[in-house]
């Protein structure tokens, strides 16, 4: 993904392991005001729970198949309920776009 998108810098964080609370990643992101765009990569069920927390839901309302993606908009501080889903795509939808 990084190569395809031309990402200049990539960091691996232990903030995306299943035992971590989404607020831990939010705190790290809030300290990084120099970043306008961030791609967060992880595995289920943690990614779904993270997105659910960011949009203000409970549990795991968002589920991702392997290779699924979504785009969130956060205008200010990263916190529970601070995100708006712009789009959410399955791997099949992404393949259809590539054709």
> How far apart are the C-alpha atoms of 84 and 38, rounded to whole Å?
15
This prediction's pTM: 0.87
The kind and range of the H/E element at 69 are: strand 69-74
Domain boundaries, the chain: 2-98
More confident residue, 8 or 73: 73
Q: Given this model, what pLDDT does residue 1 score?
A: 73
Q: Given this model, what pLDDT does residue 53 score?
A: 96
Angle of the 22-30 helix axis to the 46-54 helix axis, nearest 10: 60
Looking at domain 2-98, does it have CATH number 3.40.50.1240? Answer: yes
Q: Report the chain's mean pLDDT, rounded to a whole number.
A: 90
Please enumerate in sequence order all residues whose Cβ is within 8 A of that of 57, keeping only pairs 6 or more positions apart, or say none.
none
Sign of CA dihedral 43, 45, 46, 50: positive
Burial of 16 (0-12, 13-18, 19+ CB in 10 A): middle
């Amino acid at each position: 993904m990084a190569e395809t998108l031309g990402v200049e810098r990539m960091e691996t964080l232990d903030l995306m392991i299943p035992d971590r609370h989404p607020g831990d990643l939010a705190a790290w992101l809030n300290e990084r005001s120099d970043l306008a765009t961030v791609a967060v990569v992880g595995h289920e069920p943690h990614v779904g729970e993270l997105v659910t927390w960011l949009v203000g839901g409970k549990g795991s309302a968002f589920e991702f198949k392997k290779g699924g993606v979504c785009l969130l908009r956060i205008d200010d501080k990263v916190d529970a309920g601070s995100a708006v889903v712009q789009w959410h795509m399955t791997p099949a939808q992404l393949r259809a776009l590539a054709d």
